[in-house]
Amino acid sequence: MQSKDYGALHGVRILDLSRILAGPSATQLLGDLGADVVKVEKPNEGDDTRKWGPPYVVGHNGSDTDESAYYLSANRNKRSIAIDIATGEGRELLLRLLENADVLVENYKVGGLKKYGLDYQTLQKQFPRLVYCSVTGFGQTGPYATRAGYDFLIQGMGGIMSLTGEANGTPMKVGVGIADVMTGMYAAVGILAALRHRDATGQGQHIDISLLDSQIAWLVNAGTNYLTSGNLPRRLANGHPNIVPYQVFDASDAPMILAVGNDSQFRKFCEVAGEARLADDPRFITNVARIENRDEICGLVQSILGTRSREEWLRLLQAVNVPCGPVNNLKDVFDDPHVRARGAHLKMPCDWAQGGELNLLSNPLRLSGSPVSYRRPPPRLNEHEDEILTDWNARTP
């Protein structure tokens, strides 16, 4: 069994030329699993997100640093080196690093690296074992391939905004860059599969992953509902297209979620609420019937839940295993005893931050034999040039 001092990907070297969120999310995940990730950044500028604040990390002198919380979210377990790939010297240095790399990740526009001789078609001839992952807005092919892609645009074009928001309100995006994050997840899975293939065959390959493709893939049941029926789904606010009642309701003092997943749970809810008759009403007796009479049953449930406090309802319903829960703000989330027990809040040592630590989100993976590790805080720009050149045998001969 591999030592827990390392990780499942110990020994895998990743050259990360990506910026913003999708690519960095993928490489942070791989770094958490033990990979050696070298973040290649533009001299004097670095990753755009370093400046995407406030908030910024407070330094030892009590003043803001130039490292934003946004940047921190996707750049743990990496080392930084500044290289200007537009210069011959920079390209030569990158090629020396590639001699020891297993994976290259980039999110330049389609064809953007070809003029530097750093595209996959060129590099595969010199580095046939290299796994090369290209993250773009629209993919390497198709009529939109040359367009720049942004999470907000992709959420709109990929359909999720048509499903999100109040029934008669404006289409809404998800509150975080979910198209970027999910693309990073798919990219990480693709890289792991390509490494497995490389180890079996000796051949690397090109991974073409796009925000739009990923966004459409994670439409999941909403997408297949449409493809199966041909019917456009309507926005249901917090409602569910296939299960009722399954949404946010207002208790007497605070909003809560009631997530009735089957007829048995609906009956239990009705009994706890003192309204057992509703479970036998032909309009509500099955989930199909409740969907057909969505507005009526949801109105009745709202009237019932409005009679007691959220805490009281959660206690009563959880006691009979009816799925329900609060609508937490972020303070509630990180104060929750279960969340605390699971260690979702990571306090990571950092010698350039005030108090000597950074507040980050933990990796959710729990691996018994090769657990994730938190070895390095997000790096300062070009912080590790000397050690990278030494470790990767990339110094000028």
Residue ranges per domain, the chain?
13-219+338-393, 255-326
Q: Are 178 and 22 in contact (CB under 8 A)?
A: no
What is residue 2's predicted lDDT score, i.e. its pLDDT?
37
Q: Which residues pair with 347 in a beta bridge?
A: 359
How far apart CA 262 and CA 259 sit, in angstroms, is 9
Collapsing DSSP to helix, strand or coil, 373 comes out as coil
CATH fold of 13-219+338-393 reads: Rossmann fold (3.40.50)
Token pair in block for residue 369: 């034999």
Place of tokens 């755009």: 48
Q: Give catalytic residues, as residue numbers.
A: 180
* Residues of the chain with confidence (pLDDT) below 50: 1-4
Cis peptide before 24 (omega within 30 of 0): no
Task: Tell me yes or no: is domain 255-326 CATH 3.90.1150.10.
Answer: no
Token pair in block for residue 366: 């729990």
Alpha-carbon Rg for the chain in angstroms:
25
Residue 332, burial from CB neighbour count under 10 angstroms (0-12, 13-18, 19+) = exposed
First-to-last alpha carbon distance for the chain, in angstroms, is: 38
Catalogue the long-range contacts made by 106-109 (C-beta closer than 8 Å, 24 or more residues apart): 106/17, 106/18, 106/23, 106/132, 106/133, 106/134, 106/135, 107/17, 107/18, 107/19, 107/20, 107/22, 107/23, 107/134, 107/135, 107/136, 108/17, 108/134, 109/136, 109/146, 109/148
Cis peptide before 54 (omega within 30 of 0): yes
What is residue 5's predicted lDDT score, i.e. its pLDDT?
59
pTM (2 d.p.): 0.93
Collapsing DSSP to helix, strand or coil, 295 comes out as helix
What is residue 3's predicted lDDT score, i.e. its pLDDT?
40
Q: Are 237 and 165 in contact (CB under 8 A)?
A: yes
What is residue 109's predicted lDDT score, i.e. its pLDDT?
95
How far apart CA 225 and CA 288 sit, in angstroms, is 15
How far apart CA 322 and CA 258 sit, in angstroms, is 8
